[in-house]
Structure formats: C-alpha cells, structure tokens
Amino acid sequence: MHLQLRRIGNSQGIILPRPMLQQVGIDKEVDIEVVDGAIILRPAKQHPRDGWDESFAKATEAGYTPDDDLFEGMSSAFDQTEWQW
C-alpha cells in the first residue's frame, strides 16, 4: 500500500485505513520504534507488565532462579558514617 505523507502542524503523518488498524488490534494508542530502518507500530499494552508472569514461569522452568539479595554485604558511605542504631 502506498500512502502520502501529510503535514500535521510542524510534523508529518499518514492516515491508516480502519480495517488495517482493526486487523492488528490498534484502537487508540500505539507503541512505535525504529528497527533496521523500518518504523514498527504495535498496539500499546494496557498494562506495561502484561506477560511478566508467563516470562518468569518460563525462566523458572528453564532452570533460572532468582538471585539472593544483591545488596547483601555491601555498604555505602551513609552506612559507614551517618547511620545510627
């Protein structure tokens, strides 16, 4: 499909046909990125952490386990000088 760029204020844009947007599930918002010289549009996730549970489950099944407390045994200047028990 060949579309013309249109001037929109100080920017440029295109008008995408409704059937095309419906086909990919784009309703109101999109995530956009540039990959290898191409502009990629995807339906915006309603909740940014959607899919995390499945990803963690797959990682656990693959043998990955959460690290212990990464800050254990580390101290900062605040810990050394200003913290009082």
Residue 34 covered by a domain: yes
Residue 23, domain extent: 6-65
Residue 76 covered by a domain: no
Residue 82 covered by a domain: no
Q: What integer pLDDT is reported at residue 80 of this predicted model?
A: 75
3-state SS class at 52:
helix
Residues with Cβ within 8 Å of residue 12, at least 6 apart in sequence: 5, 6
Residue 16 covered by a domain: yes
Q: In the predicted model, what is the mean pLDDT of residues 10-22?
A: 94
Q: If you average pLDDT over every residue of the chain, what do you get? A: 87
CATH of the domain at 61: 2.10.260.10
Residue of higher predicted confidence among 68 and 7: 7
Residues 45-78 have pLDDT tens digits of 878 788 889 998 998 899 887 776 667 777 777 7
Residue 80 covered by a domain: no
Q: What integer pLDDT is reported at residue 17 of this predicted model?
A: 94
pTM metric for this prediction? 0.50
How many distinct structural domains can be found in the chain? Answer: 1
Residue 61 covered by a domain: yes
In this prediction, residue 85 has a pLDDT band, given cuts at 50, 70 and 90, of low
Residue 75 covered by a domain: no
Distance CA 40, CA 54 (A): 24
In this prediction, residue 4 has a pLDDT band, given cuts at 50, 70 and 90, of very high
Q: How many CA atoms lie within 13 A of 40 on its CB side?
A: 7
